Amino acid sequence: MPIRLLDDPPLVEVPVTQVLWRVHRLAYDPLWFGPAAGEPPQGRFDAPAGEYGTCYFGATPGVAILETLVRGLKVPIIPRSALQVRGMAAIAVTEPLRMLQLEGKGLSSFGVSAHEISGPDAAECRDFARRVHEELKDVDGIQYRSRWDTSELCWAVFDRARDRVSHILGTQRLDNPALVKPALLPYRHVSIS
C-alpha cells in the first residue's frame, strides 16, 4: 500500500543556522544530486526513474558517516578503503528549507510506522518522494530520522532547492583520523578496519 500523501502534510523549516553534513565520493562535488543519468536509484528517497536529483545530509558528522557507510552492514565495521575515496563537507543553509516532516509527530499523518520508513525495501519511499516532488512544488525535500541513530535528523533535499544549500563551508578527506574518530565517538559499536 502506498504511503499516504495529504493535501496539507506536516512541514518543518530547516533554518539558516543549521549546518548540513554530507559524506560524498571525492570523484563528485559535495553537492551532487543523484542518481546519475541512467543509473538506478540508490538512496531511500531517490527518484524511481531519475525524474529529479536528491542530495542527502545529516545533522552531525557522525550521523552522516553512519547513513553513508554503515547502511546495509550486519556488523558496523567501516572499511578503511571506503574512507579513502570519500570526503566530508559542511554545508550552509542560505535560505530556510521547507521540508516535509516524515518523522516524529509528523509520521502518523502518513499512515506508516518508523519501521516502514526505515525498513529494507525503499521502493515505497521512492514512490512517495516522487509524489511529494510532483505534487508539493513548494517543498524542498523530506526530513527523516537516521536509521542508525534515531535521535538525529537527516534530510533528502530535492535538486530544485540546490541554491538554498549551495554554500560549502569546508571539506575534508574522510580518511583523516582527526575528523572521523571524534565524529564516531558517540557510536562505540562502530569501528574501522
DSSP code string of 101-149: E-SGGGGGGGT--HHHHHSS--HHHHHHHHHHHHH-TT--EEEEE-SS-
DSSP state of 159: G
pLDDT at residue 149 in the model:
92
pLDDT for the residue 72 = 67
The arithmetic mean of pLDDT across residues 101-130, rounded, is 91
So where are the chain's domains?
11-188
The angle at the Cα of 7, spanning 146 to 115, to the nearest 5 degrees, equals 25
User: CB neighbours (10 Å) of residue 108?
Assistant: 10
Over the stretch 17-61, which tens digit does the pLDDT of each residue have? 999 999 999 988 999 999 988 899 999 999 999 999 999 999 999
The arithmetic mean of pLDDT across residues 61-80, rounded, is 87
**Cβ atoms 33, 41 nearer than 8 A:** no
Percentage of the chain with pLDDT > 90?
A: 81
Q: Specify whether the CB–CB gap between 156 and 54 falls below 8 A.
A: yes
Q: DSSP class of residue 34? A: B
Cα 153 to Cα 141: distance, rounded to the nearest angstrom: 13
Q: Are 138 and 13 in contact (CB under 8 A)?
A: no
CA separation for the pair 151, 164 (Å, rounded): 25
**Amino acid 24: pLDDT:** 96
* pLDDT for position 116: 87
pLDDT of residue 28: 87
Structure confidence at residue 120 (pLDDT): 81
CA dihedral 175, 178, 182, 188 (to 10 degrees): 50
What average pLDDT does the chain have? 93
- β-bridge partners, 7: none
Q: What is the dihedral of CA 190, 79, 29, 50, to 10 degrees?
A: -90
Distance between CA atoms of residues 3 and 117, nearest Å: 9
Tell me how far apart the alpha carbons of residues 8 and 108 are, in angstroms, rounded to a whole number.
13
Q: Does the structure show a pLDDT above 80 at 73?
A: no
What pLDDT score does 57 carry? 98
Mean pLDDT of 61-90: 90
